[in-house]
Amino acid sequence: AAELGGLERVVLGHAHADHRGSAPYLGVPVHCHPDEVADAESAASIAPYMDLSLLPVAWVRWLYPTLLRRWDGGPVRIADTVAEGDEVAGFRVLHFPGHAPGLIGLWRERDRVALVSDVVYLIDSARLKPLPPGEASVPHPAWAWDHQRAKESVRRLAALEPRLVGAGHGQPLTGSGLRGTLERAAEKY
């Protein structure tokens, strides 16, 4: 970060343990959507709405709580909030509820870049394995605050017709067929 001018603030896409990570230790203000403040400032590594019993593979149900605790840097004090329409470093904040109540993405219209945290997954989150190249998925219901709203958020992302989608897990999606990829992703699970 130093070569790019340093770190001035952190904006959380959402407050799940694997996304707040080391934010408490970076020494800069941390921002998130108002609906994520309670989870960001909580000591819990697993959000209260997550239902890991829905995961179809026993060893994955067992492993995830351990991974989440390992990835979690603990509660983070939120200095300020961001919401739909705010600007962050040349991107517009978009609210994509579903996976988490206050999940946000950052959208830059001029080059159609979407940084979307866990609006879509590029891994099979139910089985902890990669998806085939070029595929995406709505997060599994076990991870969703509201699974139907998560699907709606993926459809909203598809309608933007992005050229690049940077998701929270996996390599960025690029290419001319992203709208179709995202529309199919919304129908999984």
Distance between CA 185 and CA 56 in Å, rounded? 19
Can you tell me the mean pLDDT for 51-73? 93
Q: Which amino acid appears at position 86 of this protein?
A: D
Percent pLDDT > 90 in the chain is 84
Q: Which fold has domain 83-186?
A: Metallo-beta-lactamase; Chain A (3.60.15)
Mean pLDDT value of segment 11-22: 95
Amino acid occupying residue 100:
A
pLDDT tens for 106-162 read 999 999 999 999 999 998 988 888 899 889 999 999 999 999 999 999 999 999 999
User: Got the DSSP string for 122-182?
Assistant: SEETTTTEEPPTT--BPPPGGG-SSHHHHHHHHHHHHHT--SEEEESSSSPEESTTHHHHH
Q: Can you read off the two tokens belonging to residue 94?
A: 């978009």
- Per-residue pLDDT, averaged over 92-97, amounts to 99
Domain ranges in the chain with CATH number 3.60.15.10: 83-186
Task: Assign 189 a pLDDT band (cuts: 50, 70, 90).
Answer: confident
Residue 2 in this model has a pLDDT that exceeds 80: no
